[in-house]
């Protein structure tokens, strides 16, 4: 029996990975004659690939809708020749990326300088193919797109749990890390914790993870290449079984990411986990609103202080005006005292016009010990906070079903929230 070499083995694997449904559509944009010929030969050898008529002009600078530029339905893959006119090719890639989120963009060029590859990726390209094009590289690149297409068709049945504090220092990260670790360990649920803070996120630190290479935002930047293999390289794993996508490890300038890219990434993560717990920064920033629009439950976390309650009222008023379904909003009171000093539970509920869903006791020393230990799931016998969070986790861990289809209908009404 002949032994296949590495390339042949990879090709067989790529061919076997193709779905047997609708063929994958490819379209060339301003490809040189040799590259176009290579693509035609590749498509002819692959019955599950359909080559569309090539486009011989780049997108005009003032064409923001792409209407009339693409004949017929948008392709699933665009191969753009970056050698013909790199500026026009970059502009075309940016416009396709902005207007056709379901289209993967391949840069085609004879120049393989790293700076040019990075430039192409930044304008929305998910692959960079070096001329002359050959069957192997085309097959592997197209197989990755087809794999992502299959993953998008999988049923998305996980729940997204968003934690937002009415003000800074409300204990959101403490709750998110506790709930995530307990769902993973005590109920064996596939659980992911996402730290949405653009800087100074502490979720990984609270779990005893002090060093990491990548962050959630870097995953979002690669959303066009997003699949199970790429995700695996970004994940941190806690001893409880909880997986973590941390915040950036260093102080960086604010990242200019499209909100729908964050939403697309959250949707992908939902399809791979039972629970996606999102530790949001305080307030209603655009990234927060994108997550809130997609979440199954929004936990609005307050502490028994006048300023926190006032901010909670503002948040609920804003969500009401935006026609957000308030039955998905749960008010959580952290640092609760049975014999409150100052503002009482009744006063909080009257101000918010909502009942408090969950009360977490004020046990500062226990929380600090848990943070220093790095494992909330191991503190159940010693910590009243952990026991309270375990009871909360039980309400979710034993209920595999999502809150229902109301969320799907609400997206349309809630679409203007982040605008």
Q: Facing residues of 333 across strands?
A: 302, 359
Q: What local confidence, expressed as pLDDT, does residue 52 receive? A: 92
The residue among 87, 172, 154, 150 whose CA lies nearest residue 123 is 87
pLDDT band, residue 403 (cuts 50/70/90) = very low
User: At residue 199, does pLDDT exceed 80?
Assistant: yes
Burial of 115 (0-12, 13-18, 19+ CB in 10 A): exposed
Q: Average pLDDT, stretch 117-121? A: 91
Confidence tier at 226 by pLDDT (50, 70, 90): confident
End-to-end, the C-alpha distance of the chain in Å comes to 62
In whole numbers, what is the pLDDT of the chain averaged over residues? Answer: 84
Residue 419: is its pLDDT beyond 50? Answer: no
Contact 14, 66 (CB under 8 A): no
Handedness of CA 145, 151, 153, 156 (dihedral sign): negative
Ranges in the chain annotated CATH 3.40.50.300:
159-414
> In which residue ranges of the chain is CATH 3.40.50.2300 found?
23-148
What is the rounded (10 degree) CA torsion for 51, 53, 58, 63? -110
The pLDDT, as a whole number, for residue 14 is: 46
In this prediction, residue 415 carries a pLDDT of 46
The answer, yes or no, to whether residue 408 has pLDDT greater than 50, is no
What is the per-residue pLDDT across 66-115, written as a single tens digit (0 to 9) for each? 777 877 778 999 999 999 899 999 999 998 887 787 889 999 999 999 99
Q: Given this model, what pLDDT does residue 20 score?
A: 43
- pLDDT band for 255, please (50, 70, 90 cuts): low
- Give the CATH superfamily of 23-148: Response regulator (3.40.50.2300)
The percentage of residues in the chain with a pLDDT greater than 70, rounded to a whole number, is 85
Model pLDDT for residues 337-391, shown as the tens digit of each residue: 877 666 889 999 999 999 999 999 887 777 788 777 777 777 777 778 888 989 9
The superfamily (CATH) of domain 159-414 is P-loop containing nucleotide triphosphate hydrolases (3.40.50.300)
For range 292-320, the mean pLDDT: 94
- What Cα–Cα distance (Å) separates residue 393 from each residue in 14, 189, 376, 396, 397? 41, 10, 12, 5, 6
Q: How far is CA 395 from CA 136, 195, 377, 412, in A?
A: 50, 23, 16, 29
């Amino acid at each position: 029996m002949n032994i296949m070499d590495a390339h042949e083995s990879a090709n067989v694997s790529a061919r076997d990975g193709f779905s047997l449904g609708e063929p994958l559509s490819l379209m060339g944009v301003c490809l040189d004659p040799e590259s176009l010929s290579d693509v035609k030969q590749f498509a002819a050898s692959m019955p599950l690939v359909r080559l569309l008529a090539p486009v011989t002009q780049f997108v005009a600078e003032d064409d923001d809708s792409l209407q009339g530029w693409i004949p017929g339905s948008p392709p699933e893959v665009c191969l753009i020749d970056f050698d013909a006119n790199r500026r026009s090719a970059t502009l075309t890639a940016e416009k396709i990326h902005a207007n056709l989120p379901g289209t993967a963009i391949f840069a085609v060029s004879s120049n393989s300088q790293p700076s040019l590859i990075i430039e192409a990726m930044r304008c929305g390209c998910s692959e960079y193919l070096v001329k002359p094009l050959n069957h192997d590289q085309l097959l592997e690149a197209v197989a990755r797109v087809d794999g992502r297409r299959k993953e998008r068709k999988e049923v998305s049945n996980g729940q997204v749990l968003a934690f937002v504090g009415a003000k800074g220092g409300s204990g959101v990260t403490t709750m998110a890390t506790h709930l995530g670790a307990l769902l993973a360990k005590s109920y064996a649920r596939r659980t992911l914790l996402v730290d949405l803070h653009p800087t100074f996120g502490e979720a990984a630190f609270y779990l005893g993870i002090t060093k990491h290479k990548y962050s959630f935002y870097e995953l979002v930047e690669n959303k066009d290449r997003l699949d199970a293999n790429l995700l695996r390289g970004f994940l941190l794993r806690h001893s409880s079984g909880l997986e973590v996508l941390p915040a950036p490890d260093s102080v960086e300038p604010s990242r200019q990411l499209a909100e729908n890219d964050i939403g697309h990434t959250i949707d992908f993560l939902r399809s791979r986990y039972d629970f996606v717990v999102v530790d949001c920064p305080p307030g209603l920033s655009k990234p927060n609103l994108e997550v809130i629009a997609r979440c199954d439950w929004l936990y609005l976390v307050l502490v028994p202080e006048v300023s926190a309650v006032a901010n909670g009222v503002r948040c609920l008023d804003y969500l009401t005006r935006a026609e957000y379904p308030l039955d998905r909003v749960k008010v959580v009171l952290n640092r609760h005292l049975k014999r409150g000093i100052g503002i009482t539970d009744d006063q909080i509920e009257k101000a918010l016009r909502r009942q408090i869903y969950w009360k977490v006791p004020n046990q500062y020393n226990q929380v600090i010990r848990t943070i220093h230990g790095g494992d909330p799931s191991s503190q159940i016998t010693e910590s009243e906070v952990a026991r309270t969070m375990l009871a909360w986790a039980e309400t979710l861990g034993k209920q595999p079903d999502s809150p229902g289809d109301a969320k799907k209908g609400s997206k349309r009404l809630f679409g203007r929230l982040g605008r």
